[in-house]
Amino acid sequence: MTAPPSRPKKNRALRTGLVVLLLALAGAGTWLTWSQLTGSNGAAAYQFASVQRGDIEDVVTATGTLQPRDYVDVGAQVSGQLKKIHVEVGSVVKEGDLLGEIDSTVYLSKVDASRAQLRNLRATLKDREAQLALARIQLRRQKALMAEDATTQESLQTAEANAKSAEASLEALRAQIEQNESSLRADEANLQYSNILSPMNGTVVSISARQGQTLNTNQSAPTILQVADLTTMTVQTQVSEADISRLRTGMDAYFTTLGGQGKRWYGKLAKIEPTPTVTNNVVLYNALFDVPNDNGELMTQMTAQVYFIVAQARDVLQVPLGALSQIRPLRPQGAGADTAGDERPAPRMRTAAEAGDGSDAGRPGRPDGERRGPRAQAGAEAGGAGEAFRRTGRGPREGMQAATGAARQATVRVLRPDNSIEERLITIGISNRVAAQVLSGLEEGDRVVAGVATAGGNQPGGQPGGNRPPMMGPGPRL
pLDDT tens, 243-295? 999 999 999 999 999 988 889 999 999 999 999 999 889 999 999 999 999 88
The pLDDT, as a whole number, for residue 47 is 86
Q: Is the pLDDT of residue 66 over 60?
A: yes
Alpha carbon distances (Å) from 328 to 305, 356, 375, 409, 429: 31, 27, 14, 5, 12
Q: Report the sign of the C-alpha dihedral through residues 311, 396, 336, 326, in that order.
A: positive
Q: Enumerate residues 6+ apart whose C-beta is below 8 A from 28.
A: none
Type of residue numbered 122: R
Report, as an integer, the average pLDDT of 381-390.
40
Q: What residue numbers bound the domain in which 400 lies?
A: 43-55+314-355+368-452
pTM of the prediction? 0.60
**How many domains does the chain divide into?**
2
Q: Is the pLDDT of residue 471 over 70?
A: no
Task: Give phi and psi for 89, each to the nearest 5.
Answer: -60, 130
Q: Sorting pLDDT into bands at 50, 70 and 90, what band is 389? A: very low
Considering the domain boundaries, does residue 393 fall inside one?
Answer: yes
Whether residues 327 and 433 share a domain: the answer is yes
Q: How many Å apart are CA 190 and CA 217, to the nearest integer?
A: 12
Q: Let me know whether 50 and 164 are in one domain.
A: no
Q: What is the CATH number of the domain that holds 372?
A: 2.40.420.20
> For residue 279, is it within any domain?
no
Residue 438 and residue 323 share a domain:
yes
Lowest mean pLDDT among 7-11, 136-140, 375-379: 375-379
Q: How large is the C-alpha radius of gyration of the chain?
A: 46
Of the candidates 274, 204, 195, 285, the one whose C-alpha atom is nearest the C-alpha of residue 239 is 285
Say yes or no: 50 and 123 in one domain. no
Asked if residue 457 has pLDDT above 90, the reply is no
Greater pLDDT, 207 or 219: 207
Same domain, 168 and 49: no
Chosen domain end from 191, 211, 236:
191
Say whether both 144 and 49 belong to one domain: no
On whether both 131 and 49 belong to a single domain, the answer is no
Residue 187, domain member (yes or no): yes
* DSSP state at residue 61: E
Residue 218 forms part of a structural domain:
no
- Does residue 145 sit in the same domain as residue 51? no
CA pair distance 306, 240, nearest whole angstrom: 13
Same domain membership, residue 155 and residue 49 = no
Q: Are residues 47 and 152 in the same domain?
A: no
Q: Which of 191, 211, 226 delimits the end of a domain?
A: 191
Q: In this structure, are 48 and 125 located in the same domain?
A: no
Residues contacting residue 100 through CB under 8 Å, at least 6 positions apart: 82, 83, 84, 85, 86, 87, 195, 196, 209, 224, 225
Please tell me the predicted confidence (pLDDT) of residue 17.
72
CA distance 270 to 275: 16
Residue ending a domain, choose from 153, 173, 191: 191
Query: 435 CB contacts (<8 Å, ≥6 apart)?
Result: 54, 56, 318, 319, 320, 321, 469, 471, 472
Looking at the domain assignment, is residue 130 inside a domain? yes
Residue 61 gets the label, from left (phi > 0), alpha (psi -120 to 50) or beta, of beta
Round to whole Å and give the CA distance between 471 and 320. 8
Does residue 177 lie in a domain region? Answer: yes
182-220: buried (b, 16+ CB within 10 Å) or exposed (e) per residue?
Answer: ebbeebbebbebbebebeeebbbbebebeeeeebeeeee
Mean residue pLDDT across the chain = 78
Classify residue 386: in a domain, yes or no. Answer: yes
Helix (H) or strand (E) holding 312: strand 303-320
Please indicate, yes or no, if residue 278 is contained in any of the structural domains: no
- When pLDDT is averaged across residues 215-225 and rounded to a whole number, the result is 84
pLDDT exceeds 60 at position 419: yes
| 475 or 91: which leads in pLDDT | 91
Say whether both 350 and 447 belong to one domain: yes
Q: Which residue has the higher pLDDT, 21 or 223?
A: 223
